[in-house]
Structure formats: structure tokens, C-alpha cells
Amino acid sequence: MAWSALFHHRSLRATMRGAASYLFGRRERRRVEMMRLSFRLRLMVLLFSRRLVRLPDLPRARVWADREAFPRIRKLLRGARHTIIIQMFIWKDDRLGREMAAALLAAADRGVKVFISKEAVGDFFETNGDFLATRDRDDEPVWRRFWRHPNILVSHAVQRDHAKVYVIDDRILLLTGMNIADEYHDRWHDYLVELRGERYVQQYLARGDIDGRTGGIRMVMNTEGHKDIRPAVMALLRGAERSIVVEHCYLSDPAVLQALVNRSREGVFVTVIIPSVVDVHYYSNMQSVAFLLAKGSPRHLRVFLYPGMFHAKILLADRTKAFLGSANLITSSLDEMGEVNVLIGGRMNRAVATLRMVLRADLFRCRPLRSPPHLGWLMRLLAWMRL
């Protein structure tokens, strides 16, 4: 039994391993120590030698949908080191509004400077929770501290800026169609785009005077001096070779509708997704649908109704180019209001792949419209009034 145990395969392996360690152990230890030293040196270069070796910022884009968005925003706010800048259209005094105020208070308490630009036009949509009225809410501790904190500066003016943007320090820019209100987090389908790179922050802060095009990702803005949203939309539609997917909550611009009709007649497959329920613009949407189905190619143009409300604003061309942000496909948004969108290209781009996956899931939830909806005179009047 003793000899059989000695020559058992496990015993042989253990003996050989022990002999190798005895004969070559020092050399192996030196090799491991050199690997550890090399790792430490590389880590020191990464952490402490940015002045000597300037590492390039790789442009990155990620997309977060629905309930992923605001947890991601709050996580990034918790990591802010020195500056937070927010441009917001609607900010309601509800659960989410107070949670965002508390997150900004926590950052301000750490010494982070918080600058908020609130669009006064958006106050029209805050009938059940006006943001500006929170200045006088002494009964709510969050708002009382928020308005009195020395590190929080709030400007409130009519700038006709429909954008929703967060800038965190000098390297992260978040753009979205989501306002700060419960329905955007709890009920409405929408997207958040996270851009990492100094160039995007610089372009936004320079109001579009700096070109932010890097690595297949390009920010597109409507500002006082630049109205670049419509040219980007029309170029994307005209440049599509195989397919166009439109998922937009508000769709009524005549030039965009005509471009979709023309592309369908040219053999490009056009898919339009609109919500079956909207807060405003329902009859304008139905009039647009009637035009598309009546004038477009029956073989190449399809319209789908999404169950319920969404607030998304996406164009996807040839499954490789995505255009999304705050801009609606209505004339005032394309030509007049301040907006911030991003054009992301590349079939293998992570953000584009995420959008394709979400849009595919949305289509499975939709029902197709087979014929143009009937519009009476009252519905046409309401559509003319952009209702």
C-alpha cells in the first residue's frame, strides 16, 4: 500500500512540483517580482505622470433608457469633484424633483460649485409643482437649504432653450430629452446619452463655436449663433441608403414629413413609431401619420403606435447612425429653440447597438397602422393649432 501511494499520480505531481520549486524557485520569484515592479511603474505613470505623458481622452458614448437614467445621473453627481452645470427646461416640485435637489445639495456640501440654468418657458408645464415657487417653501427642508446654499447658483430666465444637459467637472456631458419630473422617471419611455471627453464639454460651454466631432461622435446644437439641428436631420434622412427608423413623440415638420415620403418612394424602408397617448400634439401627430400613409410608398413606409406615452426623440439610419437628444421633429424645435443632440456612428458602437436593441423591443410592443386615420374638421383645427 505504501509503494502504491508513493507512485500515485497525485503524489508524483506533488513531488515534481516540489522539485521544480526547489530547483527553479528563485528564478520564478525573480520573474514574479519583475512583473510586479513593471505593474507598479506603469500604474505610477498612469496616476502621477500626466504632465510628462499626456494621455489622450478616448471619446465614449453610452445610452441609458427609462429607469436607468436618473440613477446614473445621481451616481455621476456623487462623483463630481469641483463643478456641476445643469440646463433644464422643466423641473417639478415632486418626488424626483426633490431627490435631484438633495443630490445637488450633497455635492454642494462637499464643496462642488453647482450652476443651474432653468428655462422660464418650461414653467408653463409645471402647473402641479412650480420650480420657482420652491424658493418660498420654508416647510420643505431640502428646498430651504437648496436656495440658500452658497455653492448653488440658480438663474431663471426666458432663453427659449429646450435642452436638458448636465456637465460634470470637465470630462462628462449628459444630454437627454428627460426633464426633472416623476413621469420622466416612472412612466415615460426616454433616453439619456453619456458623453465622456473634454471636447464635448468645451463645445457645449462654447455654445457650439468649437467643433466637438471626435471618433464618430458629433454634438449638434441649436444656439443663438448656430442652428445646426435641421441640417443634421435632413442630411441624415437624405443620406440613408437602406433604412430609416423614426421614434419621436412630436412629429409634424412639413419638410421632415416630405423627406420621409420621398425616401420611401426611392426604396428606403421607413419605420415611424409614435405614441398612442401624448401630453400635447396628438392631433398634429395624427395628421402627420395620415400624410405619411397617404403619400408614402405602401411597400416601404410603415407606421406603428406605441402603447402609451413616450418622450423619445431618435432617428436611426441604416442601423449604424443614431441622432438623438432634446430636439423634436417640429418646426419650432428644429429652427428656433435651443437644443442639444448627438450624432453617433458605427455599427459596432456600443451606444448604437443599445439603441437598436431598445427600438426592436419597442416595435414588438407596437401595433401597426394599416390605413390613414380619419380627421374631421375639429381634429384638423386642433392639429393646425399644434395640439
CATH of 60-205, one of 3.30.870.10, 3.40.50.620, 3.40.50.10440, 3.30.365.10: 3.30.870.10
**CATH superfamily membership of 217-384:** Endonuclease Chain A (3.30.870.10)
**Domain range list for the chain:** 2-48, 60-205, 217-384
Cβ(222)–Cβ(175) under 8 Å? no
Grid cell digits, residue 295: 403619400
pLDDT at residue 54 in the model: 45
Percent of the chain with pLDDT over 70: 78
pLDDT surpasses 90 at 257: yes
pLDDT confidence of 73, banded at 50, 70, 90?
A: very high
| Equal CATH topology for 60-205 and 217-384 | yes
148-157, 204-213, 286-295: range with lowest mean pLDDT = 204-213
Q: Beta 152-157 vs 113-119: how paired, if at all? A: parallel
Mean pLDDT score, 229-235: 96
Locate 311 and state its grid cell.
418622450
Nearest-CA neighbor of 248 among 373, 359, 114?
359
More confident residue, 11 or 167: 167
Whether the pLDDT of residue 55 is over 50: the answer is no
- How many angstroms from the chain centroid is the CA of residue 178? 9
What is the overall mean pLDDT for the chain? 84
Block residue for cell numbers 444656439: 223
Supply the pLDDT for residue 347: 72
* Most confidently predicted of 23-32, 126-135, 147-156: 147-156
Report the C-alpha gap between 237 and 260 in whole angstroms: 7
pLDDT at 18 over 80: no
Highest mean pLDDT among 14-18, 50-54, 342-346: 342-346
281-339 residue pLDDT tens: 778 888 899 999 999 999 999 999 999 899 999 999 999 999 999 999 999 999 999 99
The more confidently predicted of residues 343 and 13 is 343
> Higher model confidence: residue 175 or residue 226?
175
At residue 17, the pLDDT reads 53
Rounded Cα distance, 154 and 135, in Å:
11
